[in-house]
Each structure stands twice: as C-alpha cells, then as structure tokens.
Amino acid sequence: MTDTATEAAGRHAGGAMRELADDPSSRKRFLRMMGGAGAASAFAIFMAACGDDEDEGSGGSGAATTTEKKAATGRDLEIVQYALTLEHLETDFYNAVIDAGIIKDKALGDTAKMIRDNEQEHVDALTATVEQLGGKPMRPKTTFDAVLEGGPDMVLQTAATVENLGAAAYLGQAGRIESKEILAAALAIHSVEGRHAAALNTVVGKTIVPDGAFAKPASMAEVLPKVKPFLA
C-alpha cells in the first residue's frame, strides 16, 4: 500500500518530527490538558476501546502487538504526533490572535474563537491518542509575532493558509494510517479542517475550493517547511 517516494518523504519528515520532540516545553503540555473537553474524553474512550481487542499494548514502543490486519503501528504514532504538532500550532495561533485583540469584527472574532475551540479539542484528542499508543505527546514552542505585527489582514490570510495546509496535511496522511480507528478519527478532524479552510477562504475573498472538486494532499515533507516560521 506504500510507494517508495511517500515512504522516503515520511522518513525525512520523521527526522524533523524528532527535532520538534526534543523541545523541552513539551513537558508543559499537562497545563494545556487541564481543561479537557467532553468530546476529547469521548474520543479517548473510543481510542482506548480500540486497543483492548487483544491486549493492553503495554510496552513503551507504542506499537500494538496484535495480529490484526490494520492495527496501530509505529508509523501511526508518528502521524498522530505530526497531527498533534499542527493542531498545537493552530491552537496557539488563534489564542495569540484572540489575546492580542486584533480582530475587531464581532462575527469574525466569534468565528476565530469557535475555530480555536475546535483546534483545542483536536489537541486534547490527539494528545490522548499519543498516550494511548504509548508515546510522549509533542508540544512545539510557537511564535506568531511577525504575523500579529502584520495586522488583521495578514492574520486572516495566515489563518486561511494554515487551515488549507492543515486540511491538506491530514489528507496526505490518510492513506498511510494503518489503524482503521485512527483513520476514522483523522477523517473526523480532516473534514472539520476543511470547513475552517472554506470559511476563512470566504473571509479573505478566495474560492472555497482552491483545488477544484478534488482537494490536494500535502506530504509531511511539504508541510513542515511551511510551518517552520511559526516554530520558535
């Protein structure tokens, strides 16, 4: 099910992911989890139930030791960590924008808060999933000063860019995910990112479907350099 180019891209991106993992601020993640939402815990229960089929998957490696055709693998863990990194980035971005009071329009501000809440739910759910898989959740350190200094237009343009990129990033991983349960979860998030992207495209006067009738995927190797400016 894999082609070598995709695998090579994944390995390359894997190095970048490990770089992010070394960030000491990842230990602060627990602060973030204090307000875990109901949806996130439902998700965690869902994920927990997935692992119970054969055994608890108790080793530190995170690779489930079942003989199931589509059980979670080390690659799944890497993909969930990658998604978690992107969701942290999005959540941090909206929090920075909201805290800075840059968006004056009431309706737009409400939309930004709603999207932020969605992203926080994604962070909580993915964090729980990483732990379920035996991994240590990633928590990148982010910076958006340059964007905030650019003013409201730059903030909205960046939001649209990040959401379109996020949607493409999930789509780029769908075919690589081994576990059906993780795939289902990723899809549930993927389409919400697509909704965000369409709404923000509308706000900045772009078409809701920049790729036409078929959304284009983006690989880890394509996505990570684009988010690097936001990583402190």
The contact set with other proteins (CB under 8 A) reads 1-2, 37, 39, 43, 45-46, 49-50, 52-53, 68-69, 111, 114, 117-122, 125, 167, 171, 174-175, 180-181, 183-185, 187-192, 194-199, 201-202, 207-209, 211-217
Two structure tokens written together for 60: 């530190």
Shortest separation between residue 146's beta carbon and other proteins, angstroms: 27
Q: Which is nearer to other proteins, 32 or 195 (CB)?
A: 195
Rounded-to-integer distance, Cα 89 and Cα 81, Å: 12
Shortest separation between residue 180's beta carbon and other proteins, angstroms: 4
Helices (H) and strands (E) in the chain, counts: 9, 0
Helix (H, G, I), strand (E, B) or coil at 156: helix
Q: Which is nearer to other proteins, 20 or 167 (CB)?
A: 167
Closest among 113, 101, 129 to 36, alpha carbons compared: 129
Q: Which is nearer to other proteins, 63 or 171 (CB)?
A: 171
Closest among 28, 180, 24 to 92, alpha carbons compared: 28
Two structure tokens written together for 215: 């959304």
Q: Identify the residue whose tokens are 């973030």.
A: 32
Shortest separation between residue 61's beta carbon and other proteins, angstroms: 21
Q: Which is nearer to other proteins, 88 or 190 (CB)?
A: 190
Two structure tokens written together for 49: 């139930």
Shortest separation between residue 77's beta carbon and other proteins, angstroms: 18
Shortest separation between residue 144's beta carbon and other proteins, angstroms: 21
